Amino acid sequence: MIYETKTALVLRKDLAAWQTANVAAFLAGGLAGTHAHLMGEPYLDANGRAYTALIREPVFVYGATLEELQRTHQRALSRELVPAIYIEPMFATTNDADNRAAVAAAPVEAMNFVGIGVHGPRKAVDKVVNGLKFLS
């Protein structure tokens, strides 16, 4: 099935494995919380046990340098997409309020991005991630 929308996570390539997983989880959660249509239906196994719903469409995960993340951010904004972001100072926090304060203290032109998530029309997201390679 080809969806009309696309979801992409762009993660800085030099992160530790735990950071990559953590940032991806935060970004995907932010996008799913903002775009309710991303969520599929809950699951049931053969015994009738319930499981939570998952994101209904593939999530494409790309690797990037800081410069590529900054470019991705600008591309998303220029296409009027509202990205999910994670910046390096957020690794030093332990709660949502401090995360928001870290972002509020960062001038947009100097944000030290470690991850950006975007969801929107397929063609717009393709232009945002153009030139990036899948994370390996």
Mean pLDDT by 10 residues, the chain (136 residues): 94 98 98 96 98 97 98 98 98 97 96 98 98 96
pLDDT value of residue 33:
97
Find the domain containing 23 and state its range.
5-134
The total domain count for the chain is 1
Distance between CA atoms of 123 and 99, rounded to whole angstroms? 31
* CA angle, 13 then 37 then 95, to 5°: 50
Longest dimension (CA), the chain: 53
Q: How far is CA 56 from CA 34, 102, 121, in A?
A: 14, 31, 15
- In this prediction the pTM is 0.96
Q: 80: domain CATH number? A: 3.40.1490.10
